[in-house]
């Protein structure tokens, strides 16, 4: 059964218990058959849709009254941009040899289609092959290669806020494709400028350079044609009819690639841990709704595409269904709405740090985190770090991997992963007396008695603790760990305990933080109401019901 990527789940980083050969055998043989005529029929369909939208836009939009044409043009840009994205998917399959059995036909059609949307075909083809050959490799991957926090540019701290993230996202989705092609932005680092337009670029080998000239010739021919159209129709006409849809399509290509490979739970590997199969499995399928079909299912069959990239798109769904049974937990699918997923990845996938318990495994992290990362002994990781732990008493012995000095996992996750629960912690700051705990057996079963002194001390440890529940939605453990410090602007850290029935204990280091969260809020998370109340000694998550909520009420005259 497929693992649904949610904020509290990790992705397997251990060696898969299956081989590429076993995956191939699970796929029906017809999935590997490439038909020129069937592939060409999809291309013809897309070209017909492009003409229909072009005809409607140039015939009817200019005659619309002023308010309506301002609405009609964006609708056209969106529709035409989506179809052009589908055209790119077909062109991209030409580069993989999935369009037909004949590579020369693939290259001719791929060159024409890529040039039409201003992407150099052979340049993209060769660097994209490197991406497929080195997916999620810290040293050799070609797309969206993450940096360690220590190597982030100094200006990155100025973009670690909502406005800065929006600016970064806007740049990525508008000119990001061209910055990547021209300067290899977000690509693998080279000793000198690595441009997709330069035949002598370090991106290419000597035997590939002649075809890079052909790519540039295709772009030159397309540019000359655009100049002639602009001279005949006007620059504004060209921008509205062609320029904006192409810009939208290239932005969509960037977004699709970004969301396939940048998820808070997807690991990256250095050379000591990376192998091709683990790298290929470090991607995630996503759901774009009706656009899945428009994009020829590149969006929801990307895992299968990375495993067998010569499978044509019209067989990719069958191949995905077939390999799911073999992949098990190694198949990743995230149905988070795309806009929300885009913002989450922009916020939380900013840099990588090495997993503390698994050498060679790197985890994508948001900038505010300290970098503590832990993974389960069963090979599940990476688990993003949580807010800093409470101070450790000097007389408490700590061992490597102790939960008190590692990022907190959900109690349920620890059971599943085979880790010990938090039997010791950073807050064992009181001394147990010989008579505090007495255990003995009776005919009815074992009995444990706790002294009043010890019980009071246990209660005191939870004095700065809130009981938390979110109405209308379940909260993932790691999501809550990530959200609350920012939501409540905490001065110091918190410790979270994952309880049954979607209740959580939130235990504060700082008493003033506790009071502010209880009295001042805010109490809105994901547009749902967050209910908080002080911890009670006899709290039972199985039966507890909130009888009151904390809220601000305006008093006085209303205008």
Give the whole-angstrom CA distance, residue 282 versus residue 306. 9
- Residue 394: per-residue pLDDT: 34
Token pair belonging to 297:
């299912």
Distances (CA, A) of 212 to 14, 97, 227, 529: 39, 18, 23, 56
Element (H, E) at 450: strand 445-450
Helix (H/G/I), strand (E/B), else coil: 1: coil
pLDDT in tens, 37-93: 999 999 999 999 999 999 999 999 999 998 899 999 999 999 999 999 999 999 999
Nearest in space to 203 (alpha carbons), one of 122, 136, 138: 122
Give bridge partners of residue 354 from the DSSP assignment: 362
- Residue 243: per-residue pLDDT: 98
Distances (CA, A) of 514 to 283, 354, 485, 486, 503: 39, 32, 12, 14, 17
- Residue 77: per-residue pLDDT: 98
Contact 487, 522 (CB under 8 A): yes
Give the whole-angstrom CA distance, residue 475 versus residue 7. 9
Element (H, E) at 268: strand 267-269
Contact 183, 202 (CB under 8 A): no
- Residue 430: per-residue pLDDT: 55
Q: Which residues in the chain show pLDDT less than 70? A: 1-11, 366-434, 439-446, 471-479, 500, 525-529, 546-559
Helix (H/G/I), strand (E/B), else coil: 505: strand
User: SS3 for 193-258, per residue?
Assistant: CCCCCCCCCCCCCHHHHHHHHHHHHHHHHHHHHHHHHHHHHCHHHHHHHHHHHHHHHHHHHHHHHH
> Token match 């907190």: residue?
408
User: SS3 for 357-423, per residue?
Assistant: CCCCEEEEECCCCCCCCECCCCCEECECCCCCCCCCCCCCCCCCCCHHHCCCCCHHHHHHHCCCCCC
Give the whole-angstrom CA distance, residue 328 versus residue 289. 24
DSSP characters over 476-502:
-HHHHHHHHHHHHT-SS-EEEEE-GGG
- Residue 401: per-residue pLDDT: 35
> How far is C-alpha 152 from the chain's CA centre?
19
Token pair belonging to 4:
């649904």
- Residue 419: per-residue pLDDT: 42
Domains of the chain from N-terminus onward: 38-272 (no CATH), 392-429 (no CATH), 431-458 (no CATH), 462-534 (3.30.70.330)
Judging by beta carbons within 10 Å of its beta carbon (0-12, 13-18, 19+), is residue 357 exposed, middle or buried? middle
pLDDT in tens, 118-143: 999 999 999 999 999 999 999 999 98
- Residue 453: per-residue pLDDT: 79
pTM: 0.67
> Token match 């939130």: residue?
506
Token pair belonging to 188:
């693998």
- Residue 422: per-residue pLDDT: 38
- Residue 437: per-residue pLDDT: 76
């Amino acid at each position: 059964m497929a693992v649904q990527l949610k904020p509290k789940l990790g992705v397997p980083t251990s060696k898969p218990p299956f081989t590429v050969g076993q995956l191939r055998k699970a796929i029906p043989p017809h999935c590997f058959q490439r038909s020129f005529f069937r592939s060409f029929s999809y291309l013809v369909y897309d070209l017909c849709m492009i003409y229909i939208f072009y005809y409607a836009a140039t015939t009817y939009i200019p005659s619309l009254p002023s308010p309506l044409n301002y609405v009609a043009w964006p609708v056209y840009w969106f529709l035409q941009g989506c179809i052009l994205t589908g055209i790119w998917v077909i062109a991209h399959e030409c580069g993989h040899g999935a369009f037909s059995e004949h590579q020369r036909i693939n290259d001719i059609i791929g060159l024409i289609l890529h040039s039409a949307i201003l992407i150099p075909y052979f340049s993209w083809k060769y660097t994209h092959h490197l991406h497929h050959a080195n997916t999620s490799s810290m040293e050799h991957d070609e797309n969206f290669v993450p940096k360690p926090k220590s190597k982030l540019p100094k200006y990155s701290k100025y973009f670690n806020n909502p406005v800065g993230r929006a600016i970064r996202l806007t740049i990525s989705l508008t000119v990001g494709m061209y910055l990547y092609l021209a300067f290899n932005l977000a690509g693998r680092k080279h000793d000198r400028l690595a441009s997709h337009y330069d035949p002598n670029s370090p991106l290419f080998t000597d035997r590939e350079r002649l075809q890079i000239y052909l790519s540039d010739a295709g772009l030159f021919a397309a540019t000359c044609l655009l100049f002639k159209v602009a001279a005949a129709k006007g620059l504004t006409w060209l921008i509205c009819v062609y320029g904006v849809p192409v810009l939208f399509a290239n932005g969509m290509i960037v977004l699709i690639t970004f969301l396939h490979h940048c998820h808070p739970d997807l690991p990256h590997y250095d050379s000591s841990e990376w192998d091709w199969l683990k790298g290929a499995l470090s991607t995630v399928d996503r759901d774009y709704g009706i656009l899945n079909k428009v994009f020829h299912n590149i969006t929801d069959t990307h895992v299968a595409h990375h495993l067998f990239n010569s499978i044509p798109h019209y067989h990719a769904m069958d191949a995905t269904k077939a390999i799911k049974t073999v992949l098990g937990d190694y198949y990743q699918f995230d149905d988070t709405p795309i806009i929300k997923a885009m913002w989450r990845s922009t916020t939380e996938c900013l840099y990588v740090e090495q997993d503390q318990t698994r050498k060679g495994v790197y985890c994508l992290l948001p900038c505010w985190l300290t970098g503590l990362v832990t993974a389960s002994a069963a090979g599940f990781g990476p688990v993003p770090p949580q807010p800093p732990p409470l101070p450790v008493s000097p007389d408490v012995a700590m061992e490597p991997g102790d939960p008190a000095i590692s990022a907190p996992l959900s109690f349920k996750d620890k059971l599943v992963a085979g880790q010990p629960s938090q039997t010791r912690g950073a807050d064992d700051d009181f001394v147990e007396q010989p008579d505090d705990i007495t255990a003995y057996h009776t005919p009815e079963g074992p009995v444990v008695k706790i002294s009043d002194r010890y019980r009071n001390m246990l209660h005191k440890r939870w004095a700065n603790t809130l009981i938390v529940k979110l109405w209308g939605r379940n909260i993932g453990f790691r999501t809550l760990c990530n959200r609350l410090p920012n939501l409540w602007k905490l001065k110091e850290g918190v410790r979270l305990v994952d309880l049954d029935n979607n209740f959580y204990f939130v235990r504060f280091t700082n008493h003033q933080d506790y009071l502010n969260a209880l009295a001042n809020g805010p109490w809105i998370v994901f547009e749902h109401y967050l209910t908080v109340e002080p911890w009670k000694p006899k709290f039972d998550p199985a039966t507890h019901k909130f009888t009151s909520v904390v809220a601000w009420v305006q008093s006085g005259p209303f205008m």
